[in-house]
Each structure stands twice: as C-alpha cells, then as structure tokens.
Amino acid sequence: MAVISINWKPSDRDLRWFAVGQFTGVMFIAAELWIFVLAFWKISAVIVAASAIVAVFGLAAPQSIRGVYRAWMVAVFPLGWTISHLLLASIFFGVIMPIGLILRVLGRDPMRKAFDRSATTYWIARPTEPTDSQRYFRQF
C-alpha cells in the first residue's frame, strides 16, 4: 500500500475541491509575490487570471478540468512522496532512535527482549479478569 496515491478518476466533487483549492493557493502565492517582490506583479496577474479561469470552469463544469487535475497530480506526486518520506525519516531518526539509544545506554529493556538461558519459558501470565457480566456496563 502506498503512502500517497494519485486518484486517476476524480469525481465531480474532487474536481470542484481542486478548483477552489488551486485558486486559493495561487491567490496566496500571487499576493506574496505582489507584496514582497513588486517586480513580478505582471506575472502574478497572469497566473491569477489563469487560475481564475480554471476555477470558474472547475465549478461550472468539473469534468472540463480533469486534464489540468491529472497534470497537476503527476507534477506534484514526486514532491509529496519526497516530503512524506523525509518527514517519516526525520521523526524516526529524530525521536524514536534517540529514545531507543538512551534506553539502551541506561540498560532498560521495556519489551523484555533480553535472552535468558535459565528461563523455562518467556510466557507472561495474563492477570485474570472478573467474569461478572455487569463489568461491561462499568467500563471506566
């Protein structure tokens, strides 16, 4: 199972969400270009106009922007794949692995994985629970 997959057959609802989302995102990017880099105001206006056209067609006739949707998904799929894997790797190597190393240095074995030759079994007896059926009504 993939972490991220491309929806090759988007519904009308998906295409409408895409139309609104891309227009909103483009508006934020164009506003930042316009405010912080005044030299790009013409480019910002062209990009906003193209985005508005896609948004209008996407809301009026969602299937008409299916090609734009597919092209965008193909273009940003590698970016999403890379970011998700970098995020998972940074969580593992930045959080999980240091905790494991600290526990190993301190000699802790919370999962009791140490091999004991004198043990006859590694089975841990589970505590017996009451068999009273009324306990189902008192869950907490």
Output the CA torsion sign for 126, 127, 128, 132: negative
Is residue 55 assigned to a domain? Answer: yes
Is residue 131 assigned to a domain? Answer: no
Is residue 128 assigned to a domain? Answer: no
pLDDT at 3: 66
Is residue 140 assigned to a domain? Answer: no
Is residue 1 assigned to a domain? Answer: no
pLDDT grade, residue 2 (50/70/90)? Answer: low
The tally of domains found in the chain comes to 1
Tell me how crowded residue 87 is: count the other CB atoms within 10 A of its CB. 11
Question: Encoding tokens for residue 112?
Answer: 């009791």
Is residue 123 assigned to a domain? Answer: no
pLDDT in tens, 53-112: 999 999 999 999 999 999 999 999 999 989 999 999 999 999 999 999 999 999 888 888
Q: Which of 32-46, 73-87, 106-120 is predicted with the least confidence, judged by mean pLDDT?
A: 32-46
In this predicted structure, the answer to whether residue 1 has a pLDDT above a threshold of 80 is no
Which residue range forms the structural domain that includes residue 40? 12-116
Vertex 135 angle, CA 134 and 136, to 5° = 90
